[in-house]
């Protein structure tokens, strides 16, 4: 089968596409004929050996796919060959076939295209876990999302609205932020404006945001902590800016606020039941048409470098996916 191979750590241009043996599913696995695979920022870090999860070389990157079931192991009962499914794994997704444990394979909501299904698991799984379990976001609160037009950010905007919050989408590009508005954001703020902290304050009657979802890091985080409400929760989700900020502890004292870490990947095993419940809710919202991944571009496997560079050059809106061929 054709697959994207990471044989040496480095930028996306170092990736090669070549023929490799297809995976063989075990008794409790599902073999998926991949139609589409989602690109996430962590994929761009893993190939550079800059992520907390470090697979040995060589490996096939890619964590989430959609496609049809090619074969199932003896123990697998919930899907059968031919079914349309979504699958999740830590590596192996940028390929024509992927074998995943049965517990990581779900029927695809019929409301989704293959591209949308491949763009679903990581961003909604992360953002719902962040807002619900880590942020305890309540209806009527104000949610500020940093990096709102990116993958996890746009999911946080949609989910924040479904959870009853007033949502302020923050980002560095008004054209990208306009899509957040279309997808439910109540307000947008350009965090390249010198006074963006004051803009957030003005939008919250001087109080600041109750929950801040931060996928960006750097100076953006430092400023955000100055426009958090009393009792607010700053969710540390990611550092897309490339800068891990050092924060002044006195700011948390002044607002009785909390800085809360979010590691969704590890929570899948450490908080398995919570994540299963989350996915039940997310699946229901998908079937009701209340959430729909926004895919701005799709590329064939052999253009993986162009696809990843859209994220690295801050040109992506929502999600970018790779496709293996026909996705209709
Ligand atoms: N904690 C977890 O469990 C978890 C799970 C998934 C992802 N993450 C992390 O969350 C972050 C976002 O992931 P994603 O897949 O949503 O990425 P993405 O789609 O590329 O979105 C990142 C956003 O960050 C903003 N940004 C600011 N400075 C940037 C820079 N120098 N380079 C690139 N983007 C920059 C961009 O918006 P503007 O251009 O508008 O500024 C962009 O839309 C990453 O750090 C990722 O590792 C964490």
Looking at the chain, the domain(s) classified CATH 3.40.50.720 span 123-266
Of 3.30.450.30, 3.30.70.270, 3.40.50.720, 3.40.50.620, the CATH number of 123-266 is: 3.40.50.720
Q: Is the Cβ atom of 147 under 6 angstroms away from ligand 1?
A: yes
Q: In whole angstroms, what is the distance from residue 280 CA to residue 265 CA? A: 17
Return the pLDDT at 53: 84
Buried b (16+ CB within 10 A) or exposed e, 192-213: eeeebbebbbebbeebbbbbbb
Q: In whole angstroms, what is the distance from residue 159 CA to residue 179 CA? A: 15
Express each pLDDT in 170-190 by its tens digit.
999 999 999 999 999 999 999
Return the pLDDT at 253: 98
Residues for the chain: how many in total?
Answer: 328
Tell me whether strands 84-88 and 64-72 are parallel, antiparallel or unpaired. antiparallel
Q: Is the Cβ atom of 40 under 6 angstroms away from ligand 1?
A: yes
Residue 63 Rama label (left phi>0; alpha psi -120 to 50; beta): alpha
Q: Is the Cβ atom of 151 under 6 angstroms away from ligand 1?
A: yes
Return the pLDDT at 325: 85
Substitution candidate for ligand 1 out of 38, 41, 42, 319 with most atoms within 8 A of CB: 41
* CB-based contacts of 95, cutoff 8 Å, min separation 6: 1, 2, 3, 4, 20, 34, 37, 60, 62, 301, 324
Distances (CA, A) of 225 to 134, 247, 314: 17, 8, 23
The dotted CATH code for 2-120+294-323 is 3.90.180.10
Contact assessment for residue 4 and residue 60, using Cβ atoms and an 8 Å cutoff: yes
Q: In whole angstroms, what is the distance from residue 12 CA to residue 18 CA? A: 15
- Give the nearest ligand 1 atom to 220 CA: 27
Helix (H, G, I), strand (E, B) or coil at 284: helix
Return the pLDDT at 87: 96
Q: Is the dihedral of CA 79, 81, 83, 85 positive or negative?
A: positive
Return the pLDDT at 204: 98
Which candidate, 293, 288, 268, places its Cα nearest to that of 278? Answer: 268
* Tens of pLDDT, residue by residue, the chain (328 residues): 999 999 999 999 999 999 999 999 999 999 999 999 999 999 999 999 999 889 999 999 999 999 999 999 999 999 999 999 999 998 999 999 999 999 999 999 999 999 999 999 999 999 999 999 999 999 999 999 999 999 999 999 999 999 999 999 999 999 999 999 999 999 999 999 999 999 999 999 999 999 999 999 999 999 999 999 999 999 999 999 999 999 999 999 999 999 999 999 999 999 999 999 999 999 999 999 999 999 999 999 999 999 999 999 999 999 999 999 867 6
φ, ψ of residue 299 to 5 degrees: the values are -130, 150
Looking at the chain, the domain(s) classified CATH 3.90.180.10 span 2-120+294-323
Express each pLDDT in 53-109 by its tens digit.
899 999 999 999 999 999 999 999 999 999 999 999 989 999 999 999 999 999 999
How many A from CA of 103 to the centre of ligand 1?
A: 27
Return the pLDDT at 328: 63
How many A from CA of 282 to the centre of ligand 1?
A: 21
Q: Is the Cβ atom of 235 under 6 angstroms away from ligand 1?
A: no
Q: Is the Cβ atom of 176 under 6 angstroms away from ligand 1?
A: yes
Q: Is the Cβ atom of 88 under 6 angstroms away from ligand 1?
A: no
How many A from CA of 151 to the centre of ligand 1?
A: 7
Give the closest residue (by CA) to ligand 1 atom 4. Answer: 237
φ, ψ of residue 296 to 5 degrees: the values are -90, -25
Return the pLDDT at 129: 98
Q: Is the Cβ atom of 44 under 6 angstroms away from ligand 1?
A: no
H runs (alpha helix) in 189-271: 196-203, 218-224, 249-255, 264-270
């Amino acid at each position: 089968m054709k697959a994207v191979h990471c044989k040496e750590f480095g930028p996306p241009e170092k990736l090669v596409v070549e023929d490799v043996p297809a995976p063989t599913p075990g008794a409790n696995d599902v073999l998926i004929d991949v139609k589409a695979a989602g690109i996430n920022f962590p994929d761009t870090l893993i190939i550079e050996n800059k992520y907390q999860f470090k697979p040995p070389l060589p490996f096939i990157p890619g964590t989430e796919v959609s496609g049809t079931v090619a074969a199932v192991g003896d123990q697998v009962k919930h899907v059968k060959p031919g079914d349309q499914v979504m699958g999740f794994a830590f590596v192996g997704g940028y390929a024509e076939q992927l074998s995943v444990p049965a517990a990581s394979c779900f029927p695809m909501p019929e409301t989704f295209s293959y591209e949308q299904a491949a763009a679903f698991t990581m961003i909604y799984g992360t953002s719902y876990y962040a807002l619900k379990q880590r942020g305890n976001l309540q209806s009527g609160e104000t949610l500020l999302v940093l990096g709102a037009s990116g993958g996890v950010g746009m999911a946080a905007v949609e989910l924040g609205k479904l959870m009853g919050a007033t949502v302020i989408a923050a980002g560095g590009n008004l054209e990208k932020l306009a899509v957040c508005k279309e997808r439910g954001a109540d307000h947008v703020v350009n965090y390249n404006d010198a006074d963006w902290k004051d803009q957030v304050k003005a939008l919250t009657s001087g109080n600041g945001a109750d929950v801040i979802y931060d996928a960006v890091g750097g100076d953006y985080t430092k400023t955000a902590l100055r426009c958090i409400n009393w009792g607010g929760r700053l969710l540390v989700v990611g550092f897309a800016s490339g800068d891990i900020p050092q924060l002044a502890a006195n700011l948390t004292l002044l607002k009785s606020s909390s800085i809360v870490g979010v590691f969704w990947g590890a929570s899948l095993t450490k908080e398995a039941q919570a994540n299963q419940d989350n996915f039940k809710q997310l699946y229901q919202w998908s079937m009701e048409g209340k959430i729909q991944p926004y895919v701005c571009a799709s590329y064939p496997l052999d253009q993986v470098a162009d696809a990843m560079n859209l994220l690295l050059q801050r040109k992506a809106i929502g999600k970018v996916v790779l496709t293996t061929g026909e996705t209709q």
